[in-house]
């Protein structure tokens, strides 16, 4: 199967320099058919922005933050591992991420229908990746592919400065954490 992948990048006005850096790395290092979908995110949240973009896409998608850079062969390596593990496209693959080493699905690649299903709208930004990873792992639908290299240039790992976008997203951290705890407890109550 020859893939065509939509690379979705929510960004903000203040992150044009980071976005340009990411776009250059995609242009130089992506060797399979793709289209880049940029979305200027004024929605105050990653999840809302992604669902708005995903509403208009039917096919395979790769979600990237504008604070990432991709390396040579990243997407073809990710695709090959993904389609071998999930020949019907039923799962999600995560490229190398030095922040969490596969413990969190932060930059998922999969079919848009699968991403929409597991990217829960109850979250604003934070903890949405925890929830997605937990649900995918429960169903054995998550694959970490450390050979598919991207670099996450985030303020947490000292590769970016704290900016307005990070501050806005961090404002929802406590709320999203409480949502994660509540939803996890509700799920465990149902399975008892």
| Segment 34-82, tens digit of pLDDT | 999 998 877 677 898 899 999 999 999 999 988 889 999 999 999 999 9
pLDDT of res. 52: 92
Retrieve residue 54's tokens.
């995903």
With pLDDT > 70 as the criterion, what percentage of the chain qualifies?
92
Q: What is the DSSP letter of 88?
A: T
Look at residue 88 and tell me whether its pLDDT is greater than 90. yes
Residue 60 β-bridge partners: 5, 111
pLDDT digits (tens, 9 = 90+) for 145-161: 999 999 887 666 666 67
Residue written as token pair 């970016």: 160
Cβ atoms < 10 Å from Cβ of 31: 12
Domains of the chain, earliest start first: 5-191 (3.90.550.10)
Tell which residue, 103, 61, 65, 58, has the closest CA to residue 78. 61
């Amino acid at each position: 199967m020859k893939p065509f992948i939509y690379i979705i990048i929510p960004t903000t006005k203040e992150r044009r320099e980071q976005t340009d850096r990411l776009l250059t790395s995609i242009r130089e290092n992506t060797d399979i058919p793709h289209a880049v979908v940029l979305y200027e995110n004024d929605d105050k949240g990653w999840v809302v922005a992604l669902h708005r973009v995903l509403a208009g896409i039917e096919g395979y998608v790769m979600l990237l933050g504008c604070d990432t850079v991709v390396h040579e062969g990243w997407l073809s390596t990710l695709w090959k591992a993904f389609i071998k593990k999930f020949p019907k496209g039923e799962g999600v693959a995560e490229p190398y991420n030095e922040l969490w080493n596969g413990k969190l699905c932060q930059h998922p690649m999969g079919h848009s229908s699968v991403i929409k299903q597991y990217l829960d709208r109850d979250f604003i930004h934070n903890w949405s990746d925890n929830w997605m990873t937990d649900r995918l792992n429960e169903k054995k639908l998550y694959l970490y592919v450390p050979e598919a290299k991207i670099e996450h240039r985030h303020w947490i790992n000292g590769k970016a400065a704290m900016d307005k976008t990070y501050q806005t997203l961090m404002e929802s951290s406590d709320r999203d954490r409480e949502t994660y705890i509540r939803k996890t407890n509700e799920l465990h109550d149902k399975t008892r």
